[in-house]
Amino acid sequence: MISRVDHVAIAVQDYESALRFFTSILGAIPGSSGEDTGMKYYWENLYLGDLSRLELLTPTGRGSFIDKFLSDREGGVHHIALQTPDINEAKAVLEKNSIPYFGFNDFGQVWKELFIHPRNAFGALIQIAEFNADDWIAPSVRMPRENRWDVQKTEQGVNVKFAHPGGGTVSLPLDTYEIQRLIHDLSESLKPSGDHEN
């Protein structure tokens, strides 16, 4: 039902200081962002390392849905977003297990979501969403759509960068011995059944 944790959302009052902290100090790369005028908040996705993401949330006016959350704090973890390959299957599993959910939204191919209240998820607000992760991260940290891997020569061998199903990339350094083993294993796997070496 769940593919992975996509991101942890952090709501903050001082957005510029938080953005500077995560980007300038911790090295996060900004990705997609936007403002929801109806719910009065601004959001921005931040990419850290190979597969880790944060989302910064901040209110844009009085009456924001995160006002209550920020009423007694400067900021904090607001929710955890889990990616699902099928939001309808996720709904069915929750319903079968009598787990209430709320806020179901279907924005077509772009995004489908629902939420589980903290009282039903051991103190954490859980967002479950169906989406294509690469649509929400910066182009600089994802593979071009026509490539699923890239190989760069290094002093020790090669660095192979793969497109990850969860969006972005994952890198794997290989030395000469590992390259030879990989070539061998790939060759063996392409042989017809019964022709493999023992």
Per-residue pLDDT reduced to its tens digit, 89-139:
999 999 999 999 999 999 999 999 999 999 999 999 999 999 998 888 888
Which residue is it, tokens 């850290």?
A: 48
Whether the CA torsion 115, 119, 120, 124 is positive or negative: it is: positive
Q: Which two tokens stand for residue 179?
A: 């390259």
CATH of 4-136 given 3.50.50.60, 3.40.50.150, 3.20.20.120, 3.10.180.10: 3.10.180.10
* DSSP summary character for residue 142: S
Strand 102-106 relative to strand 112-116: parallel, antiparallel, unpaired?
Answer: antiparallel
Cα→Cα distances 11→14, 25, 49, Å: 9, 18, 21
Cα→Cα distances 49→14, 149, 151, Å: 24, 17, 18
Q: What is the pLDDT of residues 9-33, one digit of tens each?
A: 999 999 999 999 999 999 999 989 9
Q: Is residue 134 classed as helix, strand or coil in its secondary structure?
A: helix
Q: Which two tokens stand for residue 197?
A: 């070496």
Residue ranges matching CATH 3.10.180.10 in the chain? 4-136
Q: Is residue 150 classed as helix, strand or coil in its secondary structure?
A: strand
- Helix H or strand E encompassing 89: helix 87-96
The model's pTM is 0.84
CA triple 10-11-13, angle to 5 deg: 135
